[in-house]
Amino acid sequence: MTGWRLGLLVLALLAGTVQAAEPPPAIPAQIRLASEEWLDYTNADGSGLAWDVLRKVFEPAGVKVRTQSVPYSRAIGLVKRGEADAWVGSYKEENADNLYPHWHFDLDHIYALGLASQPVPTLENLGQFRLAWVRGYDFKDYLPHVGHFREIQRREGILPMLEHDRVDFYIDALTEVDYVLDQAPKPEAFRRTHLIELPLYLAFARTREGHALQHVFDQRMGKLVASGELREIFKRWQQPYPFDEASTSR
């Protein structure tokens, strides 16, 4: 073998050794989580079911949970700009800019709210109705047969829209549907109908820290689901446990 070929071989072997010896990303000391404020789920003061679950996931692994309450679309932007490590409450592969773990941490119970005089909506007949939901939630990507829909800025105006026949049904998670229904002077005039369960994920930043935190999340969730340790948190907040056999088709 000539000298220059031998030199190239040595360099290639050295490069391979360096690459193989590169350490995995260090686990960050904290995770910055951004979320819309959902009552008793992601409260601004750090209380709520989701915050309790995520602290149980990360903090025993040495990762301190830091929370920030912002509108949904702003949470997505914070992660994209590197000002947060993950946003809370994403549906699967909702945003191509993010990393998605194997495990979900909860289920969103999606309902339709409408006047009691309306026909009962189903996944099969949704295309017949005029739908509304909060901007940024993109239910059209997760519900079949969606035709006419409009996006609204805030939930406060949805009851007049239903009452004045501007839309047929408002689509949202059960907690938010109940929040809207609680504002109705005559709640018996409305009906809520269950449509589908959608798994909820953390959407991680595509960074070295994001990869490391995603790994911690999946590793810890696997152990916690196997042990049943999360069940007590859902019981305390009086919410359905999302990891029973019927709930775990991810």
Residues with Cβ within 8 Å of residue 112, at least 6 apart in sequence:
121, 126, 131, 169, 170, 171, 192, 193, 195
Cα 118 to Cα 130: distance, rounded to the nearest angstrom: 12
Instruction: Give the residue ranges of DSSP H helices in the chain.
Output: 3-21, 49-58, 72-80, 158-163, 174-182, 208-227, 231-236
Of 111, 146, 153, nearest to 130 (Cα)?
146
Cα 148 to Cα 64: distance, rounded to the nearest angstrom: 44
Domain range summary for the chain, segments of one domain joined by +: 30-107+199-247, 108-197
pTM: 0.81
- CATH topology match: 30-107+199-247 vs 108-197: yes
What class has domain 30-107+199-247? alpha beta
What fold, for 108-197?
D-Maltodextrin-Binding Protein; domain 2 (3.40.190)
Q: What is the DSSP letter of 62?
A: T
Cα 242 to Cα 199: distance, rounded to the nearest angstrom: 9
- Each residue's pLDDT, cut to its tens digit, for the chain (250 residues) gives 455 444 444 444 444 544 444 555 689 999 999 999 998 999 999 999 999 999 999 999 999 999 999 998 899 999 999 999 999 999 999 999 999 999 999 999 999 999 999 999 999 999 999 999 998 888 999 999 898 999 998 888 899 999 999 999 999 999 899 999 999 999 999 999 999 999 999 999 999 999 999 999 999 999 999 999 999 999 999 999 999 864 444 3
Write the pLDDT tens digit of every residue in 162-221: 999 999 999 999 989 999 999 999 999 999 999 999 999 999 999 999 999 999 999 999
Do 35 and 50 form a contact (C-beta atoms < 8 A)? yes
| Residue 160 φ then ψ, to 5° | -60, -35
